[in-house]
Amino acid sequence: KAGVTQTPRYLIKTRGQQVTLSCSPISGHRSVSWYQQTPGQGLQFLFEYFSETQRNKGNFPGRFSGRQFSNSRSEMNVSTLELGDSALYLCASSFTGRRTYEQYFGPGTRLTVT
């Protein structure tokens, strides 16, 4: 099976702009989670989508939003970018059922805000 893919891999934006990141999960995986990774804060959970519904949400401002499509692909959007939004954004997918399964991560999108 193909792994989790994320596009684009690198992105440079200017403060105040908005950005959309895309994630395609492993085939058959219906849950997609997004994380922000920075040297100072480590891995921080943004949100999780399952069957096109947001199931869990982390402690991030409303500028961060996401959605999931019927084919399980997910996008996250950050509006009004700030310098502090510079980070590696990781997407992870997992198979869901009655049990909890491990997450499989994509390579990430490196966002730089100038």
Q: Contact positions toward other proteins, by CB under 8 A?
A: 3, 33, 35, 42-43, 45, 48, 55-56, 58, 90, 92, 96, 98-100, 102-108
Q: How many CA atoms lie within 13 A of 64 on its CB side?
A: 18
Tell me how far, at minimum, the Cβ of 100 lies from other proteins, in Å: 4
Q: How far apart are CA 2 and CA 23, in angstroms?
A: 13
Tell me how far, at minimum, the Cβ of 29 lies from other proteins, in Å: 13
Burial class (CB in 10 A: 0-12, 13-18, 19+), 9: exposed
Tell me how far, at minimum, the Cβ of 28 lies from other proteins, in Å: 17
- Cβ proximity to other proteins, 45 vs 75, nearer residue: 45
- Cβ proximity to other proteins, 36 vs 81, nearer residue: 36
The dihedrals phi and psi of 83, each to the nearest 5 degrees, come to -55, -35
